Amino acid sequence: MYLRLHLLLLSGLLIAGSVRAQKNNKLSTNPALVRLIDGNLRQAVNQYKVLMSKTPAGVMPRSYTAGTDKLETSDLGWWTSGFYTGTLFYLYQYSHDTSLLREAKDRLNLLEKEQYNKGTHDLGFMMYCSYGNGLRLLGDTSYKRILLTSARSLSTRFNPVVGAIRSWDAKPWHYPVIIDNMMNLELLLWASQVSGDTSFLHIALTHANTTMRNHFRPDFSSYHVIDYDTATGAVLAKKTAQGYADSSAWARGQSWGLYGYTVLYRYTHDTKYLEQARHIAHFILTNPHLPSDKIPYWDYNAPDIPKALRDASAASVMASALIELARDVSVEEGTGYLETAQQILVNLSSNNYKAVVGSNGGFILKHSVGNIPAHTEVDVPLTYADYYFVEAMLRYKELAKEK
């Protein structure tokens, strides 16, 4: 009896597995878009050589001010410090151009000390997008060691009473956790997988579950910041920092959530994370304020829609996440996600968003929004818009190759 049940379950799993594989294979990709992407990637390689030539030693590129033709840079502790090397690795993966690889490896050395940085929740962005891609492509075991130390440093910011990793240390917040932090969990999920240390997994899952409970509204849009009481774990406030209002849906935050829960599902196969990602996708894709070209306004509730600024970074992150999510669901549902991702990729490839090689300070995309309430990085190129755009294009090519 037990054996029969076991075999039944096993065959059920196998069938489920093959159905899933079949579904994935049935997603159809567009050869014309693959050709467009190839052109984009060839241009991006040349554009990043422009960026390489402009970037001073000891810092990372961050943005560009067109009026003064000034490359804006950051120090290594800034949350975006890993995207430049990450994009170089992706472009090296595509082109095999060793000058990109050399630059990526040199810049990684600058980042190495950040593995000990316990003052930020952004170590996932900083280290996994850089060293993670380096490890994937080069298999250098010293990168693995650095990533595991980074995961340990990130874990020190977890408070079991709150059940989440602390985002910022600054006042007036008590224990702020921002939706963006979902993106830092992949470092922990990876670390748990390679080291066998389940405490990383526990922290990542607890953080994801706490976020699911408190960050989301009934329509599955998310607040930007939840402030917690460290004595009780109670929610003190639901606020925004970078969005239009506490009650609004800041566009990049929605994309971070979508991407974050899609990654959680990839590592755990727990369908509650898949459901969460599908709900977030539903909020975004049925939003009356999502423009027909699918490049979001910087906030889905910005008061001056349709004149509000667009955010190419929110679009890039969304496209990359949707290509992955499309493979996790039925063909019918996945086709809808893939069509939106395709639209985003086509529209970001237009002259409206993609810079002519040699212009835009060497960045690939124009028109992203960093932080409107703080009046910083408004309608500018940003390293993370480029990173997720290149990632999305590579993901699309990969999907097309599997046909």
Which parts of this chain interact with ligand GLY (CB under 6 A)?
79, 180, 242, 252, 370
Tokens coding 152: 């340990």
Residue nearest to ligand GLY (CB): 180
Q: With contact defined as beta carbons under 8 Å apart, do 63 and 370 qualify?
A: yes
In the complex with ligand GLY, the residue whose CB is nearer, 82 or 370, is 370
Distance of alpha carbon 309 from alpha carbon 368, whole angstroms: 8
Residue type, 184: N
- Pick 76 or 346: Cβ nearer ligand GLY: 76
Residue of 140, 180, 311, 386 marked catalytic: 180
Question: Which residue number, 168 or 202, has a Cβ lying nearer to ligand GLY?
Answer: 168
Distance CA 207, CA 155 (A): 11
For the bound state, the minimum distance from the C-beta of residue 392 to ligand GLY, rounded and expressed in Å, comes to 17
Spatial distance between the Cα atoms of 107 and 348, rounded to a whole number of angstroms: 27
214 vs 242, beta carbon nearer ligand GLY? 242
> Is 180 annotated in the active site?
yes
Shortest CB 377 distance to ligand GLY, Å: 8
Q: Please say which residue, 30 or 371, places its beta carbon nearer to ligand GLY.
A: 371
Active-site residue identified among 38, 75, 106, 122: 122
| Token pair in block for residue 393 | 């294009």
371: buried, middle or exposed (CB in 10 Å: 19+, 13-18, 0-12)? middle
For ligand GLY, which is the closer residue by CB, 64 or 79? Answer: 79
Return the number of other C-beta atoms located less than 10 Å from residue 350's C-beta.
10
Contact 265, 233 (CB under 8 A): no
- Measured over the CA atoms of residue 62, residue 170, residue 153 and residue 238, the dihedral's sign is negative
Instruction: Take residue 384 and report the two structure tokens written for it.
Output: 């993370």
DSSP designation for 297: B
Smallest distance, ligand GLY to C-beta of residue 225, A:
11
CA distance 34 to 39: 9
Cis preceding linkage at 31, omega within 30: no
Is the CB of 231 or the CB of 374 nearer to ligand GLY? 374
- Taking the complex as a whole, the smallest distance from the CB of residue 125 to ligand GLY amounts, in Å, to 7
CA-CA-CA-CA torsion sign (177, 179, 185, 187): negative
Nearest approach, Cβ of 164 to ligand GLY (angstroms)? 15
Name residue 340's amino acid.
Answer: T
Closest separation between CB of residue 212 and ligand GLY, Å?
19
Known catalytic residue at 246: no
Look-up of token digits 């991702």: 341
Q: How far is residue 73's CA from residue 383's CA, in Å, rounded to a whole number? A: 10
CB of 112 to ligand GLY, least distance (A): 22
Strand 60-65 to strand 70-74: parallel, antiparallel, or no bridges (unpaired)?
A: antiparallel
Q: List the Cα angle 117/93/267 in 5-degree steps.
A: 55
Distance in Å, CB of 179 to ligand GLY, minimum = 9
Taking the least distance from each CB to ligand GLY, the nearer of 74 and 99 is 74
Phi, psi (5° rounding) for residue 249? -110, 95
Distance set, CA 29 to CA 61, 307, 318 (Å):
34, 33, 18
Q: Record the tokens describing residue 122, joined without a space.
A: 């952004």
Residues annotated as part of the active site: 122, 180
